[in-house]
Structure 1
Amino acid sequence: MATVLHLKPLFRAPATPPAESLAQRRVRLGSRAAVWLFTGLFALAAALLVTAIGVMLFYKGELVRIGPDNCYIGEAPANTVAFGALPLVHRLVYVLVGIVRATPILIMFWSLRSLFRGYARGEVFSAEAARRFGRVGGWLCAYALSPLLCHLALSATGYEIDRNWAHMASLQAFVLGLLVFVIGQVMQVGREIEEDREAFV
């Protein structure tokens, strides 16, 4: 009776990854460029916020003024007041308003950076990519709502000076953010259906 031995090979060639298509290469390279773009935008927005906080707290000149219609740098209407002439408590309130209104922008840029970093790694249709996509929409909606929320808080406390808070751009940003958020939810549902199908097979 013959005995058959099955010996494992001493060397196994590594599996060859599938060749990258032209479309995948474009997505990867474009996503890398987008990562740098949103990293730069995040750094710029953070620097602007820090600069604005410094000006609101420490600048005492006449070049930065605030009135019922807007904030101004340089020439301003007669119904404005120098920001540095406001009491410290009033300036601190507007520092808080600046932080509240800038935070959604900062987080949105960081979320977009994370989204495109995932795309650059090939995570295009993953569950985490769908969640990141939805978070971008959520923070865009928060950015659109922040002027209204700050207006309500300032008017209730009596600290409001600039009453020009309603802008069409905020409405457009809210609608766009809502669409992005819903698309992110649809992507998550689609991924869950695909995972259920794979598990069934």
Structure 2
Amino acid sequence: MRGKLNTSMIIETAAKIADENGLDAVTLTHVATKLNIKKQSLYNHIDNLFHLKCELVILANSHLKQYLMHAAVGKSRDEAVLEVAKAYRQFAHTFPGQYQAIISLAWECKDNENFRAATRELMDILFKVLSQYQLRGEYLTHAVRGLRSIMHGFASLEASGWFRQPIDKEDSYLLLVQTFIYGIEAIEKE
């Protein structure tokens, strides 16, 4: 492994650990064990655990961006919003550790320029999707914040074990997103 080890392998290993065992399981010791190397070898590529976790957030942001971008391609307005919302929730289900990293570690990495760039790219997708509506002034920013809050709120509550009633969660989520769309369309007509 010594000659082949690189930063990307380390970060991807950390992402796998987070998704399989939870974000708290991402330690330098666990990453080194998974890579079958000595812990000290990691320091040739990363500074410390904080650096690794910031890189993990950047990777997760980029990964989520790809999910949302793929969902939005070739779609417009209501269909684009619905597909992006579905992709966001699917990402949170499929990559729970990466999603948790985005949500819980982002503030800690806010001074990292690569993190800020990855976050801007992710948010640009939401702005592009919602810019298809005729929202004036600050309403576009309000709409992006609203959609992100809906997606994150539902995904977070769901991951925390809420919504135990036997009503289909997918139906609840889609109804919530559709209600948001109706609201955006109402603002658009003003």
TM-score norm. by structure 2 comes to 0.29
TM-score norm. by structure 1 comes to 0.27
The structure whose Rg is larger is 1
- The structure with more helix, counted as a fraction of residues: 2
